[in-house]
Amino acid sequence: MSIRDRFPILQKKVYLNSCSQGALSIDVRQAYEAYLRDWDEKGSPWEVWVERGEAARQAFAGLVNAEPDEVAVCTSVSAGVSALASALDFSGERNKVVISDFEFPTIGQIWHAQEKRGAKVVHVPAAGNIIPTERFAEAIDERTKIVSITHICYRNGSRLDVPAIIELAHQKGALVLLDSYQALGTFQIDVKTLNVDFLAGGTLKYLLASSGLAYLYVRQNLIPTLQPTSLGWFSQANIFAMDSYANTPSPTARRFEAGSPPVPNIYAGVAGINLIQSIGLGKIEVHLRDITGAIKEGAMQRGFTLVSPVDPARHGALITLRSHDVTQLVKRLEEDGIITSSRDDNLRISPHIYNNLADVDRLLDCLTKHRELLV
């Protein structure tokens, strides 16, 4: 079976909205059916469900070259980052949080919520569709507790120079959180090579699963030093101890987990990651570079305004075009059978391994048809 055949929606639509949600595969549908079958046949199979959670942990660890004990299984990136933020001490002189203006809103909101605990949040501004690394160098100093950056901007697809920013932060003794939600599943990410302290991401987008499942990687030697106050049943060393008289956090990254896990989404998440791994991230990266390159070239040749950087090294799988009525443009494209999305005044076009050059040609022809909505 071909890759495209695994995604039934492609039989009737051009799906270019993976930055919002990956297309539904038969693998994920079968995973949900397996969850329902286990529930139906076994009644209350908590041992099986806990095992599935561990399979999800191992799958994500393998994806980013982490140890399973360095991975927390969460319901969302917001939950994982909130637990991490609760474990940081902002009472001393090192209380500064440096974030970029490319962050997903929730990340900024979580760090601003720490201002009541003494955090001082500093934003690194953009320069058009990029953020020069020098601006991070100007913002990060000896007072910086943590630098929180996105791998790929959800608004315009811009890619930060992550290795350089991590090095700048570590030179000043600061920690680094990398939000890789818009990057995971599109190219290889190795937490050891990056030397990043924390990495967050979820399965909804390019990992081809569904909402309700995310991960937080925590570097091994940092785990004992962090005591989150945002926690739950599965954050405990023994989840079946049921001890209401003490908080005994897990010695692993599981201490950043919360209450009852999202069991159905765990089944789906494992299926999505396994599908990505079976295809191969190297193959996916090359394919996406070809597809996004064709989109950019075609769009610029037809006179449309590219918002994402032209250089393929500076953007992810998300390509954006300027529109003066993007809501109407998304609607018109949907009527033409092309699924996209928008942020700000940008049309977001986000292909994946299941898209091909015929999809690109159809997109460009429909954009030309509606060029009065483009800038």
Interval 40-50: pLDDT, tens: 999 999 999 99
According to the model, what pLDDT value does residue 320 have?
A: 98
Total of domains in the chain: 2
According to the model, what pLDDT value does residue 1 have?
A: 84
Please list the ranges in the chain whose pLDDT falls under 70.
Answer: none
According to the model, what pLDDT value does residue 239 have?
A: 87
According to the model, what pLDDT value does residue 240 have?
A: 86
d(CA 373, CA 327): 10
What is the domain-level CATH number for residue 213?
Answer: 3.40.640.10
pTM given for the model: 0.96
Beta strands in 329-375 (DSSP E): 338-339, 341-343, 346-349
According to the model, what pLDDT value does residue 117 have?
A: 97
Q: Are residues 201 and 321 in the same domain?
A: no
Render pLDDT for 226-244 as a digit per residue (tens, 0 to 9). Answer: 999 999 989 999 988 888 9
Q: Are residues 107 and 176 in the same domain?
A: yes
Strand 198-202, strand 214-218: pairing = antiparallel
Q: Are residues 187 and 87 in the same domain?
A: yes
According to the model, what pLDDT value does residue 25 have?
A: 98
**Which residue, of 227, 252, 277, is where some domain finishes?**
277
d(CA 280, CA 97): 36
What is the domain-level CATH number for residue 309?
Answer: 3.90.1150.10
d(CA 167, CA 177): 13
Q: Which residue range forms the structural domain that includes residue 81?
A: 27-277
